[in-house]
Amino acid sequence: MQHFAADRAVTEFGPGFDAVGQVDQGETFTVETADCYDGQLADPSTLRPQIDMARFNRASGPVAVRGIEPDEAVAVSIEDVDLAPAGVMALAPGLGLLGEDVETATTRVLEVRDGHAWLTPEVAVPLRPMVGILGAATAEERIPTSTPGVHGGNLDTRIIRPGATVMLRARQPGLGLAVGDLHAAMGDGELGGTGIEIGGTVRLRIDRVADYDGAWPAVVDDDGLHILASGAPFERAARAAFREAVALMARWQDLSWPDAYRLTSVVGDLQVSQLVNPQVTARMSIPGRWVSDDVLAVRSR
């Protein structure tokens, strides 16, 4: 199995990329990532305002996939996430939705053991490993890895976890996938501006998808399809996710646009992935009952 170490990483997604290696479609491989701070907050005495932010949110890769061409859809299966022994949660004035109430920068290092991350000796958070950054080379624009978009990027979506499959559309030959910003756990919204930031290793597989029309990244899991649209303000992201959901529903259920609009409004759920990145991310979830069988089939590839 090919393994790509964390020493090769990018801080932006762009139209050109220098691949760290190449994999075949359907080949399982692993990617090691540092935490979002690139290991700079190893102990509580180091504070977020003191670190080199040029190293923030580095994404390991990019990895090229043989035979993938622009405009093709791919399914990126998250087979497993192996976490480092400790994570970190840093606070600083201005960080998160209540950043104005944070008076002093502090750093908390959380030990990972027994299926939990330990915030204090008495308070343990159950592990819910997830991938914060998962994105591909762009068509033209150069986009920092901290920013989500149609290419993927810093989606900070808690359902990008083992057993889920992320749908992306290639913009460049070979796709150019990079991943990073793992979390041992994170709530919807990432409201405090941080999950349990942690390094680790992700096991992945990438396959071409022949029959998928979506443009935005999406997650396929046992619950259905979840469209991830990013923008600012949140209403803009929500409208983009809902618009794509209606178009897909019209095709899958052979409905006129007005009836697909009605149906999606009844069976779909608008959720929040994150509200703290330069572009916020809305999640439009469609239960599996209403999703094409061809799309749901990517879960088991």
Give yes or no for residue 299 having a pLDDT over 90: no
Percent of the chain's residues with pLDDT above 90: 98
Domains located in the chain, CATH noted: 2-70+79-147+174-209 (2.60.120.580)
Residue with token string 């992306």: 168
Q: What H or E segment, with its residue span, contains residue 197?
A: strand 197-198
Q: Is the pLDDT reported for residue 301 higher than 80?
A: no
Q: How many other CB atoms are found less than 10 A from the CB of residue 52?
A: 9
List, for residues 9-65, the tens digit of each pLDDT value: 999 999 989 999 999 999 999 999 999 999 999 899 999 999 999 999 999 999 999
pLDDT band with cut points at 50, 70 and 90 for residue 84 = very high
Q: Are 30 and 80 in contact (CB under 8 A)?
A: no
Rounded to 10°, the helix 234-252/257-267 angle is 120
Q: How far apart are CA 113 and CA 39, in angstroms?
A: 19
Residue 118: pLDDT above 70? yes
Q: Tens digit of pLDDT for each residue in 69-81?
A: 999 999 999 999 9
| Residue 295 DSSP SS3 | helix
Q: Would you give the DSSP letter of residue 301?
A: -
Please give the full DSSP string across 198-262, using - where no structure is assigned: E-EEEEEEEEEESS----S-EEEETTEEEEEEEESSHHHHHHHHHHHHHHHHHHHTT--HHHHHH
Segment 173-190 shows an average pLDDT of 98
Answer whether residue 275 shows pLDDT above 70.
yes
Residue-level pLDDT at 300: 60
Predicted structure pTM score: 0.97
pLDDT digit string (tens) for 183-201? 999 999 999 999 999 999 9
Q: What is the DSSP letter of 299?
A: G
Confidence of residue 211 (pLDDT cuts 50, 70, 90): confident
The average confidence (pLDDT) of the chain is 97
pLDDT at residue number 144: 98
Q: Mean pLDDT over residues 278-287, rounded?
A: 98
> How does strand 124-126 pair with strand 2-4?
unpaired
Whether 157 shows a pLDDT value over 90: the answer reads yes
